[in-house]
Amino acid sequence: MALVPGEIVRLFRQHFGGAAPQIYRAPGRVNLIGEHTDYNLGFVFPIALEMACYAAIAPAAHDKLQVFSREANAGFAININEVAEAKPMHNWSDYVVGVARELARDAVPLKGADIYIASEVPAGSGLSSSAAIEVAIAMALLDGRELQPLEIAKLCQRAEGQFVGMPCGIMDQYAAVFGQKNAAIQIDCRSLTHNYVELPPNLRIIAVNSMVKHELGTSAYRERVAECRAAVEAIQQRYPEVQSLRDVTPEMFVEVEAQIPEIPRKRARHVITDSQRVLALGKAAEAGDLAEMGQLFVDSHRSMQHDYEITCAEIDFLVERALRIPAVYGARMTGGGFGGCTVNLLAPEVEERFRRELAADYKQKFNLDPIFYDCVPSPGASRM
């Protein structure tokens, strides 16, 4: 259930009292295909979710950003003159301060304000709870002042890379900004342009939360970024014009792969093929070819499992188990990896069975209760 604006206003007033706040909403996302391709300037294919982060903001007489998070059940305050020199605290407040700092650096003056944050996007699930906070906060701090949507996405990505310390690509922030009702967003991460693709009717997209997030997350992400760079350097021996894996066609890759050391070669193979799969999934969706869409999901999962090596036992189990159910067209891990969610394409009539069998068998094997989310393509960030 989406948090209704009235509920956020109530929470805000309960905490801060005073005036009616303005509300901003920014959604989480589920990526359909194209994983770890964004920082290689390839293609990605997310949909924005109904689950979103809400930021309620009201101007205040003081010189601080006074912030409270419902999920953390904690708050903090920072003087607006200290934001530019702030240091990360390694908790949720970094998303807020990181964004405020980027705005201040972009010469958007900060004003004293009370801010209440409530999010429905589960943290650590691979559904991009952090980008949802960043974008909601950016909109709230702007509070009506103009900034191009693409600039908001880029600013939030910078906050995450430079303040939070996660060298992520642009996908999550882009999806939170540009989400569209009834459509997936096919994003070109080099040109930073996109087109909307409607998905076939009679299709359920269900994310399954494995309820695990293995700690390797951020360090493995950095490692993958570095390994992709190493692959680019090896490929440059032969093709000096190559700047990123985006510049490497599948044909070029076959020609040079023997000259790339083994680990970077596997990483590059995943990135190059998954980026191609984004384009193929767009075509299959437009043709209404559910079997092909499903096959692309499975190929993508295998590629993450064996070449990018970012899956884990729980996630692999959820994928294999889902694929044993007839009319489950495809299943794959979504997001950064090492836990989080799978995303599944299935016929509406098997949804009940899908939920029942996965829940029972996952519980038996891992003693965990997975959570199921119906993923309905929803609009991007807005003032409510």
Catalogue the active-site residues: 172
SS3 content of the chain, % helix, strand, coil (to 5): 45, 25, 30
In the block, tokens 């020609």 appear at 255
**Per this entry, what is the length of the chain?**
384
Task: Give the DSSP letter of residue 122.
Answer: P
The helix (H) or strand (E) run that includes residue 13 is helix 5-16
Query: Which of these ranges, 5-13, 94-102, 164-172, 256-264, lies near ligand GLA under the rule CB under 6 A?
Result: 164-172
Q: Which is nearer to ligand GLA, 335 or 377 (CB)?
A: 335
Asked whether 272 and 245 are in contact (CB, 8 A), the reply is: yes
Is residue 215 packed enough to be buried (19+ CB in 10 Å), middle (13-18) or exposed (0-12)?
Answer: exposed
Q: Which is nearer to ligand GLA, 27 or 336 (CB)?
A: 336
Tokens of 144: 């009506």
CA separation for the pair 146, 103 (Å, rounded): 12
Q: Which is nearer to ligand GLA, 31 or 180 (CB)?
A: 31
Minimum Å distance from CB 132 to ligand GLA?
Answer: 12
Minimum Å distance from CB 111 to ligand GLA?
Answer: 29
Minimum Å distance from CB 175 to ligand GLA?
Answer: 10
Of 264, 335, 339, 380, which one interacts with ligand GLA (CB under 6 A)? 335
Q: Which is nearer to ligand GLA, 56 or 137 (CB)?
A: 137
Within 8 A by CB and 6+ apart from 336, the residues are 36, 126, 217, 221, 310
Of 336, 339, 370, 380, which one interacts with ligand GLA (CB under 6 A)? 336
Q: Which is nearer to ligand GLA, 113 or 343 (CB)?
A: 343
Number of residues lying near ligand GLA (CB under 6 A):
12
CA separation for the pair 329, 322 (Å, rounded): 9
Asked whether 162 and 98 are in contact (CB, 8 A), the reply is: yes
Alpha-carbon distances of 208 from 328, 333, 362, rounded to whole Å: 13, 9, 11
- The one-letter amino acid code at 54 reads Y
Q: Which is nearer to ligand GLA, 21 or 179 (CB)?
A: 179
Q: Which is nearer to ligand GLA, 22 or 31 (CB)?
A: 31
Strand partners, 59: 113
Minimum Å distance from CB 193 to ligand GLA?
Answer: 17
Minimum Å distance from CB 351 to ligand GLA?
Answer: 26
Query: Which of these ranges, 68-76, 132-140, 168-176, 283-291, lies near ligand GLA under the rule CB under 6 A?
Result: 168-176
Q: Within 113-132, which residues bind ligand GLA (CB under 6 A)?
A: 128
Minimum Å distance from CB 23 to ligand GLA?
Answer: 25
Minimum Å distance from CB 300 to ligand GLA?
Answer: 11
Within 13 Å of residue 113, how many CA atoms lie on the same side as its CB? 22
Interface pattern 287-326 for ligand GLA (x via CB under 6 A): ----------------------------------------
Asked whether 222 and 252 are in contact (CB, 8 A), the reply is: no
Exposure string of 317-336, with b = 16+ CB inside 10 Å and e = fewer, is bbbebbbebebbbbbbbbbb
Q: Within 20-59, which residues bind ligand GLA (CB under 6 A)?
A: 31, 35-36, 38-39
Q: Within 169-188, which residues bind ligand GLA (CB under 6 A)?
A: 169, 171-172
Binding site for ligand GLA (CB under 6 A): 31, 35-36, 38-39, 128, 168-169, 171-172, 335-336
